[in-house]
Structure 1
């Protein structure tokens, strides 16, 4: 850890583990089961939405901290993991209580796990696979699909808004998945030519 130029924020190197951004990310992972349990009770209460909103906003906080204090390899791994735990946990809880249909959620989960495996494999080969801008929007839409499903007025009377967001999230999920897989194919061809 080093002092930053403005003296307000310490900076961290890429190998740092104990950073404020990572603490926020780990807190998000640890708080997610509380949100999932609240969603699974199928009680669209404001407390469920507020807990989910705070957990979701922590993603912006850890991103802001990482940009101010330095992006780390551990953070690059933990942040998308935290997003996936929150999204998939929330969506499967909504499937369990009958608010979301299993088909789009299963497709979203399949894509997330496939791309995570690809990123992990690429990382072991020393290849970084950064998130695209559309992939970041995809995560945002996924979170709002869950959010709209638990906001009491929407969950109780205009649930079609959450359903529409879920299908939009699925479309973005598939589109970004195809983009990543095409990139993987191109990378594989490049490596084969280099061997």
Structure 2
């Protein structure tokens, strides 16, 4: 197994650690920043999320730089992204920070795209993420990171930056989903 794929697997392994820190009630004290009390476990969860999200860039960098792009990596990398995004969305819903409908829009697109990828894979075709899909992922990850520290960010900036970024992410999710379906409509013709 090459280094980029190992990094991607490490990203997947960080997801349950992130969720434990964010959702399991551990009393480890809190950090005071700008008059906002942030539980230490949430700070640790945020750090786990940032590390996991940054490995997406890192595995892609090594894959391209050292010509280690593989079909396994093309399949696993987007799957790892979807797992991390799903975990963060569900965490934010549980913490009552994000409305469920936004998560449903994002997850619906992700499941639909994964379904198309699976159908394509059964025909021996591997579909890599498009540039639009990559931008969608960047905005989703950024929005999720900001929302994980929503109270703190809002206290400092006095604007709902997390929700603004999430709205952009939702719009990009819809646009990239439509683009993905249009570019891969040939898969439906072959499968029916």
TM-score (ref. length: structure 1) = 0.80
Partner of 2:9: 26
Structure 1 match to 2:71: 73
Which sections of structure 2, spanning at least 5 residues, go unmatched? 26-37
1:99-153 C-alpha deviation (Å, 9 max, x unpaired): 0000011110011001101111012112232211111010010001111012362
Deviation at 1:80, TM superposition (A): 0.6
How many residue pairs match? The answer is 174
Structure 2 match to 1:11: none
Matches within 5 A, 1:26-65: 26-40=9-23, 43=38, 45-65=42-62
Structure 1: gaps of 5 or more residues: 1-17
| Mapping for residues 80-99 of structure 1, pairs under 5 Å | 80-99=78-97
Q: Give the Cα separation in 2 of the matches to 1:25 and 1:150.
A: 22
Structure 2: distance between partners of 1:33 and 1:147:
16
Among candidates 133, 137, 140, match of residue 139 of structure 1? 137
- 8 Å Cα contact 2:116/2:187 also seen in 1: no
Tell me: CA distance 1:51–1:73, structure 2 relative to 1, closer, same or farther (3 Å).
same
- The separation in 1 between residues aligned to 2:43 and 2:84, in whole angstroms, is 18
**Cα RMSD for the two superposed structures:** 2.2
Change (3 A) 1:96 1:133: same
CA distance in 2 between counterparts of 1:118 and 1:31 reads 27
TM-score (norm 2): 0.82
